[in-house]
Structure 1
Amino acid sequence: MNGILDLLIQMVAVAISPATAAFVIAAIGLNIHFGYTGLFNMGQAGFMLLGAYGFAIPITSGLGFWPSLGIAILSAVAFGALLGIPTLKLRGDYLAIVTISAAEIVRMVGRSSILDPITGGSNGLAGARYRDPFTDLSFFGDGQTTFLWFSYDNTGVNGWWMRFVAWALVAVLCVLVWLLVRSPWGRVLKGIREDDVAVRSLGKSSYAYKMQALILGGVIGALAGVIYVLPSSVQPDSMGRSTTFFLWTALLLGGAATLFGPVLGAVLFFAVRIFVQGVTALVVPRSVMSLQQTEQFSWILVGIALMLLVIFRPQGIMGDKKELSFGV
């Protein structure tokens, strides 16, 4: 019984962690791309990594928190425009090819030994080099606070201040998306997703709207990258192709084109994986499956669950099949 209780506590701890919040934020950006506009962005991790570098490098060079955050946002805007200009007038699959390639270029450039003095190369940038300006903004004070079963520093590397900011940003972005999709701009995006030609026949520039959606979702992805690296470090390989695939899994799990689908999907994605890994470790003897193998087994089950989801409920948990289904 204690083992199950500890597992449930661990699941909740993972669910409220800043890393989970970062994935929620990145999935919200991806939802604007795919869920509302129909853009197949397969390189959201590239926006995250670019935002992380755009934030961390200026601070390590002596710039303040807010100017560095502005540079991270501008980097995502430039990256989105660079990707969108040659591809958004073509079929959607071209965007998928370009974005996954561009994200890999960002990762490989970041880990290049030539840029080691700037990006830290394959070792990345330690969080201690850029985290202080963020923690200095905290009004939570020093010390430690315990809430239910969770004890964290008020203002620490991975404390309550970090969690508060991360999930507050999730709430703000959910409200922003809710307002946008109910506006004329959001209705045009849905029209583009359903029938691009019909929207153009009404005198709307689908290219301009697609570019705006790509940049907006990319900026949200960059903010996710900042949240993701604040409690840890900037590691280029931690935001590679697998990160984008995890984001797609979370989005499809919760339901694309829904307000809370990215939130539910990302939380379930991490919590269920911890549950599978924990139950496997409790049930299966260590002589049969080691802890490392239980982790690998949990990823296998997540992959199988995604395949079953796409086959039997393509609209996701919260999605409406009439609104959008994967592959339409």
Structure 2
Amino acid sequence: MGYPLELLQAILQTALSPVTAAFVIAAIGLNIHFGYTGLMNMGQAGFMLIGGYGFVISVMNGLGFFPAILISVIASMLFALLLGIPTLKLRGDYLAIVTIGAAEIVRMVARLANLSAITGGPSGIQSPKFRIEFNALSPLPEGRTDLFGLGILDYNNTGVDDWWSRIVAWGLVALFLLVTWLLIRSPWGRVLKGIREDEDAVRSLGKSTFSYKMQALMIGGVMGGIGGIIMAMPAAINPDGMGRATTFNLWMIMLLGGAATIFGPLLGSILFFVVRLVISSLATEYVPSTILSAQQTEIVSWILIGLMLMLLVIFRPQGILGNKKELSFNV
């Protein structure tokens, strides 16, 4: 019974991890872009980098916790504005190419050795200073020796992966899910869906589709930036940690849960991280190291997740929670 209990603890820890919550928030923003507006944004990781670096650089230069968050939000909005003005008239594959290129430009700029005094260069920035004021806001008992139990879970209240971080991160997830639900049910949200289905028809009704798409890009981009802050919160940010793979993972999460659904990003993110963990854990436990090393096990988990996504797209293109009548890859 020892191994099943350990696996269950690892699953719950992964499902409740602030990193999982960060991907949920970024995927909610991507869902607003693609699921509800039809924007093929392949550069959501760029928004995460902008938001994360905006927060980290602000804190490192003496700004307080909340002013740093404000700077991060403003930076994400400006990036959406600069990206959207020349590109939102593009459609489909062209927009995807431009956005992934923009995200790569952000990543490569952050990697520049000439900017290492600001961005840390390829190594990024590591400092416990990010969390000092954040930890000070915690109402939970302080110190690594103070434990907070919840059933079989037992974790530190302060540190990299602590309950205070989980409470804040998942509280933000709940907030953004509620905001998305309210926005999509509003007349503004109905216009977004109209743009996704037939932009010319919406334009013929006198609506400025460019304005609505810009608003959607900025709102989803801010969510991506908040996700980047949560990713950086454990006291480190690295430009390669939010690269192309992060964007592809976000797309996988959104499509797995179901695009154009409120809870699709939440379900998709939890399943994505938990399935990877279960596959790796089972392979490590039951497959001899002479057959599969730890590195090979990680590769196998990615292969199996990719196969599952292919099967999902083939047999249920709308995702687990999606409505085929509203949105599918076959449309």
Q: Deviations over 1:26-56 (max 9, x none)?
A: 0000000000000000000000011000000
What residue number does 2:131 align with?
131
Q: Is the 8 A contact 1:59 1:130 kept in 2?
A: yes
TM-score (norm 1): 0.97
Q: Is the 8 A contact 1:253 1:309 kept in 2?
A: yes
Offset at 1:262? 0.2
Tell me which of 161, 179, 201 is aligned to 2:164. Answer: 161
Q: Relative to structure 1, is the Cα distance of residues 195 and 20 closer, same or farther in structure 2, using a 3 angstrom cutoff?
A: same
Measured in 2, the distance between the counterparts of 1:297 and 1:232 equals 30
Tell me which of 144, 149, 166 is aligned to 2:152. Answer: 149
What residue number does 1:208 align with?
211
Q: Runs (4+) of structure 1 moved beyond 3 Å? A: none
Q: Deviations over 1:78-111 (max 9, x none)?
A: 1101111011122232221111011111111111
Tell me which of 255, 260, 266 is aligned to 1:257. Answer: 260
Question: Counterparts in 2 of 1:95-114, with a 5 A limit?
Answer: 95-114=95-114
- Residues 1:223 and 2:226 aligned together: yes
1:252 maps to amino acid? L
What residue number does 1:194 align with?
197
Q: Which runs of 5+ in 1 are unaligned?
A: none
What residue number does 2:273 align with?
270
Measured in 2, the distance between the counterparts of 1:160 and 1:284 equals 33
- Residues 1:308 and 2:311 aligned together: yes
* 3-state secondary structure, aligned to 1:145: strand
What residue number does 1:185 align with?
188
TM-score (norm 2): 0.97
Offset at 1:285? 1.1
Q: Is the 8 A contact 1:127 1:234 kept in 2?
A: no
What residue number does 1:240 align with?
243
1:225 maps to amino acid? G
What's the % identity of the aligned pairs? 60
Q: Is the 8 A contact 2:130 2:235 kept in 1?
A: no
Q: Which runs of 5+ in 2 are unaligned?
A: none
Residue range with higher mean Cα deviation, 91-100 or 34-43: 91-100
Residue range with higher mean Cα deviation, 105-114 or 88-97: 88-97
What residue number does 2:173 align with?
170
What residue number does 1:120 align with?
120
What residue number does 1:33 align with?
33
1:271 maps to amino acid? V
Measured in 1, the distance between the counterparts of 2:240 and 2:324 equals 36
Q: Is the 8 A contact 1:18 1:231 kept in 2?
A: no
Q: Is the 8 A contact 2:129 2:235 kept in 1?
A: no
Measured in 1, the distance between the counterparts of 2:62 and 2:230 equals 20
What residue number does 2:75 align with?
75
- Residues 1:320 and 2:323 aligned together: yes
Measured in 2, the distance between the counterparts of 1:9 and 1:252 equals 27
Tell me which of 268, 293, 298 is aligned to 1:295. Answer: 298
Offset at 1:307? 1.2
Offset at 1:15? 0.7
Matched residue pairs, number?
Answer: 328
2:117 maps to amino acid? P
Measured in 1, the distance between the counterparts of 2:217 and 2:330 equals 20
Q: Is the 8 A contact 2:49 2:225 kept in 1?
A: yes
2:140 maps to amino acid? F
2:100 maps to amino acid? I
RMSD of aligned C-alpha atoms? 1.1
Q: Is the 8 A contact 2:131 2:235 kept in 1?
A: no
Residue range with higher mean Cα deviation, 67-76 or 304-313: 304-313
Q: Deviations over 1:167-225 (max 9, x none)?
A: 00000001100100000000000000000000001111110000000010000000000
Offset at 1:232? 4.2
Measured in 2, the distance between the counterparts of 1:240 and 1:67 equals 26
